[in-house]
Structure 1
């Protein structure tokens, strides 16, 4: 797999701009950051349970992707629950929405959700997350029992953003301006429903121009959902996002069917 090239200045910027990829202090361990556990209860489940079976805590852990599922040089992170990207902090310029000011609220929700890793909302049932790092990139994978209606509403909203928020500006805490662009991209045809975006944020960090690009992909299987956010400086590895969606969907499907997910990625044509 060919990864986007990263000039030396990009890597240097990533190492120097601590505020750009700021990680909050980690208190204790991060849920879901270790190796996925297989639920003994899942092994005792009937061979053909309902495809909309409720996700258990152990099942959510088992449904998390692994480094093998996204290949390349991705490594497990131990502090994923504390990740916060300051480039995503900003107040949307409502005045820029001349004829559809209500859309500004959707764009603000997008920025806030990306910053807090809460685009799927709060899961009333079981949930888990896992993070990965590679070069200047970070990927967060989340899975949980959010409810089919809630997930469908979120997916419908996500699909509307390339039109509502195709390009807008936001002001950071220090008064610096950011330009944000949102486009859709073709997510693999897996699960019961799905949606995907690429969000590009252009601004400054420590007085230097910075471009941060993030893939956002979500899918639903029954009442359970999964979300992938994969972001990096200048360019994002779409292939890794695609693998996370494909293999993550298969793992979640297996767990909901009472099976143990395969230890290596599933093969797709």
Structure 2
């Protein structure tokens, strides 16, 4: 199986599929010396604007642009998650065949165009495009807990495209609701899409729960995914958790809180603490 690009939609790996299918900026002084905040920003991987473009004194500072190093620094660690999640090294290879299928247009007799959106959702969950293609840096990490998995991506996007994608995600519980998808072998899967709550963090957010009922290794199986996406300026944190044993609502909510805080720290020129922030 060929290696595919790293993205947070490949939640459930081929390894599980084999067994159970799864699945401020501070200015330098006149002598050009660098301040401590400059150094911290560089270590966190944040691109600093030049002096001519910095915000005037007394005005709120705009977040810095995300860099590759910053995206990596913003990723969750095991210390940010409760419940015995173990970080893995092959999250970019995770995928789930239950998400591969052709949507039955007959389920959308009065609004056949809705079938296109539901097909796009399945394709995005499998093929990396939940928030569209990042236009900036992107970093990925994954964690395992028994047969469940949790995936996080931090990436930079075009602002207009990111807002449009979040708005689209919020329409899917009404647009898709419940439909049938047929796999390449002719097996039918029932897909349900519902709204999921997301912690009130970041600048904009969207949450979904997607369940796919089908067959795995000759027996019935249900894949459940909890999904949360949060925008911070022109960057975003996307978290997906779940598996054949059910969703991971609590872990996804915790991950999105901590992940958003880490991203904000990086964009503000800081370095995320090795210990998680206590949040109410």
Q: Deviations over 1:162-192 (max 9, x none)?
A: 0001100000111000000011121000000
Report the 3-state secondary structure (helix = DSSP H, G, I; strand = E; otherwise coil) of the residue aligned with 1:133. Answer: strand
2:138 to 127, 140, 153: 127
Alignment check: 8 A CA contact 1:73 1:134 kept: yes
User: 1:10 corresponds to which residue?
Assistant: none
Alignment check: 8 A CA contact 2:16 2:22 kept: no
1:262 to 260, 273, 276: 273
Q: Does 1:138 align with 2:141?
A: no
Q: CA deviation at 1:247?
A: 0.3
Q: 1:232 to 1:39 in 2, by over 3 A?
A: farther
1:232 to 230, 243, 248: 243
1:62 to 46, 62, 73: 73
Q: 1:92 to 1:15 in 2, by over 3 A?
A: closer
Q: CA deviation at 1:44?
A: 9.6
**Stretches of structure 2 lacking an aligned partner (at least 5 in a row):** 1-14, 24-40, 50-54
Q: CA deviation at 1:18?
A: 3.5
TM-score by length of 1: 0.84
2:178 to 167, 174, 178: 167
CA distance in 1, matches of 2:22, 2:61: 41
Report the 3-state secondary structure (helix = DSSP H, G, I; strand = E; otherwise coil) of the residue aligned with 1:231. Answer: strand
User: 1:40 corresponds to which residue?
Assistant: 43
Alignment check: 8 A CA contact 1:142 1:228 kept: yes
CA distance in 2, matches of 1:19, 1:66: 27
TM-score by length of 2: 0.81
User: 2:217 corresponds to which residue?
Assistant: 206
Alignment check: 8 A CA contact 2:71 2:154 kept: yes
Pairwise mapping of residues 181-192 of structure 1 onto structure 2 (< 5 A)?
Answer: 181-192=192-203
Q: Deviations over 1:210-264 (max 9, x none)?
A: 0110011101000001111112114112110001110000000000000001112
Larger displacement relative to structure 2 (212-221 or 50-59): 50-59
**Stretches of structure 1 lacking an aligned partner (at least 5 in a row):** 1-13, 23-37
Q: Does 1:100 align with 2:111?
A: yes
How many residue pairs were aligned?
241
Which segments of structure 1 move beyond 3 Å, counting only runs of 4 or more?
14-19, 41-46, 48-52
Report the 3-state secondary structure (helix = DSSP H, G, I; strand = E; otherwise coil) of the residue aligned with 1:158. Answer: helix
Q: Does 1:116 align with 2:119?
A: no
Q: CA deviation at 1:266?
A: 1.3
Q: CA deviation at 1:137?
A: 0.7
Q: Deviations over 1:144-173 (max 9, x none)?
A: 111221111111000000000110000011
User: 1:20 corresponds to which residue?
Assistant: 21
